[in-house]
Chain A
């Protein structure tokens, strides 16, 4: 009985994703998302290519100690050039710029607008008037949000990583990626971005349905995630960022006042985020099932 619904649901979800992605990725209003996604790439590119150069000049003497000529050595000396500190610097940048800023606010924008923008436009009722289960609608919208977020923020992450490796030159980068643990690093960062989109996506989609003006709750979450390091270990775990940073291969700095929580191992944090996503989407579906169309005022 259940099984033969799947082909229909798949088709319906695909249809919703097509409609939604067209709006979120190819509409004028998507420009702000592109700019947001581009920002960390530009920053890392700047750090990689514009940096202090150290020019040292020394005299070259011959065996007898006589001056022969002057020698100039130009040393590239940016934070991303020094193999000892570069991974830490990038981890910091990724944490602050990509995860906590671009992914966070990008997901606020994308996922909160999935239903809210249509309430504002007064066009949500078209979905409610189609022969589609409201749960399928939630699934379709969520997947559409994920397609948008994953596309843009994977590119942000990949772009930032590209310039991170470019800073040390082609040879060093290739050595690190193929021989060192660079490849694992790349996929860890991408994976954190993907899981971030999943968790924040579900959170903001659901919050968008429960709050009339979800910007304030979103800022509360933002503050909570930043102050997370101050919290006692138990509260720390009520946080998406905690599970994401637990995955990091480079220990992310927690700040001086941090009360160190043991990072949650990946075999818990990844399924944990997936389960949390499921629970949030279940809440969203419940909410959508009982939702009335009330755009406020007459059309």
Chain B
């Protein structure tokens, strides 16, 4: 799918792989997960290959569910999952090659950053000296070595996030699964983390990262999987998704004194595919416009204002990037107004 596939030789995968293909992919075959009555994800068919893949979707869309499914923390209600050629119910095999940084911002009681990472490396089966060395290396990579001997409880959210990243990469897995790893990071730490992800991918690792901000996913990944309400709604290269986005109508919210008159003129000039009259929460009237070409719309709006009979108070895009993609990809049933 993407041109960023690392060379085969970069993968430390065992020689005893059943088939080179399945050993290098995560495959969901018709996977559904229900939490009792609640839908987690439904009918997911997805193959994720090497490189960096982003799972993007709003809150509750099923990103964490997919990640928990591929790491065996939850089991599918239906369907099958193969991770690098393995099933997800043999952690003793799976986690030699997989590292998962989950969304839970929690730690065992009373640990220091170093004690935490070292301790779980020993649970993996590494000997003390090796565990110490790997823990040091991982903490250094996330920039936490200087504070490694402090209690995790005293850390900020961003620092804890980075310690959990270190824990996920410390045993040198080939597949990394990170659930919203940029959450709670300041812009500097975000940039550093993205650089780290890129570096890991360049080393031949294979990353699946979730985010609810498309713009972030764009910076990090070669490929995005868009999720909404438990369904995979689109997948492909970031460029492909971007192109789809450029084609689609933008929603723009206009506050003015005579929205109906404005709507008439907009339609007269064929600037919009749809315009809806609204009342804002504060009681002001407004117009929600779906414009085919936003630049042209803004240009013409200026000339309408120049005519002087409609007073314009504010103009703003009504959706951020991601919502725009959703509106387009999901067929617009999730209205904003």
Contact = CB atoms under 8 A, between A and B. Distances in A.
Given A22-B110, A126-B108, A131 B171 contact: yes
Nearest to B89: A289
Nearest to B104: A299
B120 interface: yes
B109 A27 contact: yes
A130 B95 CA distance: 6
Contact of B71 (A127, A129, A289): A129
Interface string B68-95: 1001111100000000000001011111
A114 to B, nearest CB: 12
Given A18-B119, A289-B89, A299 B35 contact: no
A121 B119 contact: no
A133 B92 contact: yes
A19 B74 contact: no
Interface stretch (B122-130, B203-211, B251-259, B269-277): B122-130
B73 A134 contact: no
Contacts of B104: 122-123, 125, 295, 299
A288 to B, nearest CB: 11
B237 interface: no
Interface stretch (A8-16, A48-56, A104-112, A177-185): A8-16
B265 interface: no
A132 interface: yes
Given A11-B122, A11-B125, A19-B119, A129 B91 contact: yes
A129 B102 CA distance: 10
Contacts of A134: 91
A64 interface: no
B37 interface: no
Contact of A23 (B74, B89, B105, B110): B110
Contacts of B103: 298-299
A130 B71 CA distance: 10
A293 B75 CA distance: 10
Contacts of A294: 35, 74
A52 B96 CA distance: 68
Given A125-B73, A293-B68, A118 B108 contact: yes
Contacts of A289: 89
Contact of A130 (B107, B109, B124): B124
Interface residues of B, number: 35
Contacts of B32: none
A18 B122 contact: yes
Contacts of A122: 104, 106
B108 A19 contact: yes
B167 A126 contact: yes
A129 B121 CA distance: 11
A133 B93 CA distance: 9
B45 to A, nearest CB: 22
A293 B108 contact: no
A292 interface: yes
B197 interface: no
A128 interface: yes
Contact of B123 (A12, A23, A121, A295): A12
B212 to A, nearest CB: 13
Q: Tell which of B95, B103, B107, B122 has the most Cβ of chain A within 10 Å.
A: B122
A12 B125 contact: yes
Contact of B120 (A22, A126, A293): A126
B100 interface: yes
Interface string A280-295: 0000000001101111
Contact of A128 (B91, B93, B167): B91
A295 B64 CA distance: 13
Contacts of B107: 121, 123
Nearest to A127: B123
A132 B92 contact: yes
Given A12-B124, A23-B109, 8 more contacts: A18-B119, A19-B123, A121-B109, A126-B120, A130-B91, A131-B92, A131-B171, A290-B75
CB-based closest 3 A-B pairs: A15-B122, A122-B106, A131-B95
Interface of B: 35, 68, 71-75, 89, 91-96, 99-100, 102-110, 119-120, 122-125, 127, 167-168, 171
21 contacts: A12-B125, A14-B122, A15-B122, A19-B119, A22-B110, A23-B108, A23-B109, A23-B110, A29-B109, A121-B107, A123-B104, A123-B106, A127-B123, A129-B102, A131-B91, A132-B91, A133-B91, A293-B73, A293-B74, A298-B103, A299-B106
